[in-house]
Amino acid sequence: MILDGWFWAGTVICALSLIICVVMTVIRTFPDDASILSLVAVELFLVVYGISAAVRTAGGETMSGPVWEFWGYVATALIIAPIAFFWAVTDKTRWSNLVMGAVGPTVFVMLHRMQVLFLG
């Protein structure tokens, strides 16, 4: 299996998001801008990743796995951060930071699967 720069960039962004959200859970009693911005960073990465994948496939690169499964993972990963954000907005407690923190590891696992489907 090949892990390219997209995977490693996503890993760093997801890990930083997790760390920020866990720290905010410890020191804050409500969602902080840092936690929310870490979700925005994950979401922006996924948007750019999806656009890049579309350009790569339009350019003739073939996926090693099913195309529908890859795009299903992309679509699912894209809705995870907004769901966590809306949870945090409606539930202004310390634990909503931790819910936002779960986005990083979840997207990381999905990103790994997307790499397997794309590159083999």
pLDDT for residue 91: 86
Residues of the chain with pLDDT under 50: none
pLDDT for residue 18: 96
Question: Rounded to two decimals, what is the model's pTM?
Answer: 0.91
pLDDT for residue 1: 59
Alpha carbon of 46 to those of 68, 80, 88, 91, 100: distances in Å? 17, 11, 20, 25, 16
pLDDT for residue 52: 94
First to last CA, the chain: 5
